[in-house]
Amino acid sequence: MINKIGIVMLMMSLCTAPLVMAQDEITPELKKEWQNLSESQKEELRLAYKKYRNMEPKEKEQFRERYAHYQQLTPQQRAEVKKNWQRYQQMPESKRKKIREHFTTMTHLSVEEKQQIKANQERFKQLPPEAQAKIRHKAQQYNKMQVKERQALKDQIQKKRK
């Protein structure tokens, strides 16, 4: 499965070119890197720039933040990002779509929601393996349910809370 760094690489591969091509937004790091890129890499960046040009201002800002994060990665982390990107490319489209949806969901969460997810993940890691297995099994069952069934389950949970 692709980890967080892999997702950053995914976004970088889709969006790196804009900073290379848009002279008013170019970063010194990319100016230096541009000279060392192969023609195929430069072409990929040019194609990504076309996507960047059509982004909304908020999307461009998110891109700049992701790029700044990428610039802070160590060479080992960047190698891991590249490896994850290659794994992502080999996945079936259905799995890639699921990853993109997850990424999109995560980028639109508030800071509080992200903190809650992280806290839940930490609590999960502290559970005994048997409890983790039960939770994973329930999550798999839930994911297989149809949309209407999920809504009915959510409604039941809401009634219990009242």
Question: Which helix (H) or strand (E) element contains residue 3?
Answer: none
Shared domain check, 119 and 55: no
Q: What is the pTM of this model?
A: 0.41
Count CA atoms closer than 13 A to 44's CA, side-chain side.
13
Shared domain check, 115 and 98: no
Q: Indicate the SS3 state at residue 107.
A: helix
Shared domain check, 128 and 85: no
The pLDDT assigned to 30 comes to 63
Shared domain check, 102 and 71: yes
Contact of 103 with 7, CB cutoff 8 Å: yes
Per-residue confidence band for 17, with pLDDT thresholds at 50, 70 and 90: very low
Is 25 a residue whose pLDDT tops 70?
no
Question: 63, 83, 108 — which closes off a domain?
Answer: 108
Over residues 8-27, the mean pLDDT reads: 48
Is 135 a residue whose pLDDT tops 60?
yes
Shared domain check, 60 and 43: yes
Closest CA to 4 of 55, 108, 77, 61: 77
Contact of 133 with 140, CB cutoff 8 Å: no
**CA–CA separation, 7 vs 102, rounded Å?**
10
Per-residue confidence band for 19, with pLDDT thresholds at 50, 70 and 90: very low
Task: Name the residue type at position 129.
Answer: P
| Total tally of structural domains belonging to the chain | 2
Per-residue confidence band for 7, with pLDDT thresholds at 50, 70 and 90: low
Question: 88, 108, 128 — which closes off a domain?
Answer: 108
Shared domain check, 42 and 17: yes
Over residues 148-152, the mean pLDDT reads: 76
Question: Which helix (H) or strand (E) element contains residue 152?
Answer: helix 147-161
Contact of 12 with 63, CB cutoff 8 Å: no
More confident residue, 62 or 23: 62
Shared domain check, 123 and 93: no
Question: 76, 92, 108 — which closes off a domain?
Answer: 108
DSSP 22: -
Domain that holds residue 118: 110-162
| Token duo for residue 78 | 């960047």
- Mean of the per-residue pLDDT values of the chain: 76
